[in-house]
Amino acid sequence: MRDYRNFYIDGQWVAPVEPKTADVINPATEAVAGTISLGGVADVNKAVAAARKAFASWSQTTREQRLDLLLAIQAEYARRQTELGDAIIEEMGAPSSLAHGFHVGLGAGHLQTAIEVLRDFKFDEPHGATMIAREPIGVCALITPWNWPMNQTCVKIFPALATGCTMILKPPQLAPFSAQILAEILDTAGVPAGVFNMVQGSGSVIGTALSTHEDVDMVSFTGSEPVGVQIQKDAATTIKRVGLELGGKSAFIVLDDDALAANVAGATGGMMGNSGQTCSAGSRLLVPASRMDEVIAASKGAADAVTVGDPTGNVAMGPVVSKSQYNIIQDYIQQGLDEGATLIAGGLGRPEGIDKGWFVKPTVFVGTNDMLIAREEIFGPVLVIIGYDDIDHAVEIANDSNFGLAGYVSGTDVDQCRAVARRMRTGWISINGGFDFHAPFGGYKRSGNGREWGEHGFLEYLEVKSLLGYA
């Protein structure tokens, strides 16, 4: 049983101003896994004041000083990777291989990327007689979700540290354990007092207090579209910068070639990873309509092969994060049935043999792009297969969405894959499984504003100053 009732403010673990606690539920067992404190406005004010005070000195540190700190954090992160993985299993139900693998590995990857970018980043660039200087924006509020707790937290913290910003982290209430361990890592590594602060609590209280605070210069938020809209509204009164990484309903286009069956199976299995709780998931699988029978056989086989169960064991898929999320996903599955989509795998209820925990069947529909299950982000292991007539039709379907976060193209003709990817209106596209920590990640349309990852992630935390006549 974890007991995380203190916040990290100004280099110290401190009790909340007004004691209030919440239980954290293990989604695999439905049992209480730990307790956290729920902060209030007074806690936010203390954290912001500490960050504002620390900014004066931290913003003036050298590249070498920041690199030394990031390297110290890297050593401590490596030492505690197993603890982080265990926490992720417990807090959000990721299976052991995924929690100890990609979940923790994403955090380590973003840390290594920040180190690599910082070594060569051009904070000053001469343009004739003018010097263009990039300077830290100031105090940053980092608001993160529960679905990839290390990825979404580390992709914000480390660029902010590297660029000279100070920050307040509000971790997700549903999955707060790994953030607590990360705060311990930063403390042990020697992050100066006030540079990093963490306040646990609800988004409606802590998120609102940070978004409206006049001494917060920037908000970086990852989460749902409605909350992102509210944060923009809250931040407008103080004209602060807002970076948003929101929802997605990403298209996965499989080209008509000899690799069709293998690519359909890979796309189906990939959709079920992390129980489908991934904003960039390829949840719309676009396939040649003329080969739908082959597609259905390949996708059904892949979905049926996904093992679901106790995340501490050898399974491919654990539960979804909460009872509320489980119920939302069940409602969407019912909606698909009501709309007339053809169910080819999975369906309503828990998988056979499981009677406890928020486990969802790996579910696949064949439908059309106008169905609700193809329009809205389900955030669960539910895939919608949609047939296309030709490449132009595939691109038209892919772009017919309010979202534009990610996309995928698979096929043996790489030139055709590239051409299709160029036409997709989305911010991050993987061609035949491509992946790159240095590639900017972010969305078009209602999927958000700004970019994270790599050098572009640094730019989120920097202001641009023109020094005329500098030469």
Q: What are phi and psi of 438, to 5 degrees?
A: -90, -5
Query: Is residue 416 within 8 Å of 256, Cβ to Cβ?
Result: no
Contacting residues for 276 by C-beta, under 8 A, at least 6 apart: 283, 320, 360, 378, 379, 380, 381, 382
Task: Give the residue-averaged pLDDT of 242-251.
Answer: 97
pLDDT digits 0-9 by tens, 248-265 = 999 999 999 999 999 999
For the record, the structure tokens of 262 come out as 């293998």
pLDDT digits 0-9 by tens, 355-379 = 999 999 999 999 999 999 999 999 9
Return d(Cα 26, Cα 46) in angstroms, integer. Answer: 31
Return d(Cα 38, Cα 27) in angstroms, integer. Answer: 20
Residue-level pLDDT at 77: 98
Tell me how far CA of residue 209 lies from CA of 7, 68, 231, 273, 403, in angstroms. 16, 33, 10, 34, 28
The residue from 90, 91, 225, 245 that is catalytic is 245
Kindly state the greatest CA–CA separation across the chain: 74
Cα 245 to chain centroid distance, Å, stands at 8
Residue count of the chain: 471
Query: Is residue 136 within 8 Å of 164, Cβ to Cβ?
Result: yes
SS3 252: strand
Query: Is residue 396 within 8 Å of 369, Cβ to Cβ?
Result: no
Return d(Cα 28, Cα 357) in angstroms, integer. Answer: 4
Structural domains in the chain, CATH included, are: 2-246+447-467 (3.40.605.10), 251-437 (3.40.309.10)
Please, is 128 exposed, middle or buried when counting C-beta atoms within 10 Å of its C-beta (0-12, 13-18, 19+)?
exposed
Return d(Cα 142, Cα 207) in angstroms, integer. Answer: 9
Residue-level pLDDT at 181: 98
Return d(Cα 237, Cα 118) in angstroms, integer. Answer: 33
For residue 42, the tally of other CB atoms under 10 A from its CB is 12
Given the DSSP bridges, would you call strands 2-4 and 448-449 parallel, antiparallel or unpaired?
Answer: unpaired
Q: How confident is the model at residue 469 (pLDDT cuts 50, 70, 90)?
A: very high
Sign of CA dihedral 140, 141, 145, 146: positive
pLDDT digits 0-9 by tens, 53-111 = 999 999 999 999 999 999 999 999 999 999 999 999 999 999 999 999 999 999 999 99
Cα angle 236, 237, 239; round to 5: 60
Residue-level pLDDT at 136: 98
Q: How confident is the model at residue 332 (pLDDT cuts 50, 70, 90)?
A: very high
Query: Is residue 286 within 8 Å of 345, Cβ to Cβ?
Result: no
Residue-level pLDDT at 79: 98
Query: Is residue 98 within 8 Å of 85, Cβ to Cβ?
Result: no
SS3 103: helix
Dihedral (Cα; 47, 53, 56, 58), 10-degree rounding: -50
Cα 410 to chain centroid distance, Å, stands at 23
Amino acid at 331: D
DSSP letter assigned to residue 343:
E
Return d(Cα 289, Cα 300) in angstroms, integer. Answer: 16
Give one DSSP letter per residue of 92-108, joined into a string. H---HHHIIIIIHHHHH
Half-sphere exposure at residue 358, Cβ-oriented, CA atoms within 13 angstroms: 25
SS3 305: coil
For the record, the structure tokens of 94 come out as 């990721």
Residue-level pLDDT at 235: 98
Q: How confident is the model at residue 292 (pLDDT cuts 50, 70, 90)?
A: very high
Q: Is 245 a catalytic residue?
A: yes
Q: What is the mean pLDDT of the chain?
A: 98
Residue 186 belongs to what H/E stretch? helix 177-189
pLDDT digits 0-9 by tens, 264-273 = 999 999 999 9
Q: How many helices (DSSP H) and strands (DSSP E) are in the chain?
A: 16, 23
Contacting residues for 71 by C-beta, under 8 A, at least 6 apart: 115
Query: Is residue 92 within 8 Å of 146, Cβ to Cβ?
Result: yes
pLDDT digits 0-9 by tens, 401-438 = 999 999 999 999 999 999 999 999 999 999 999 999 99
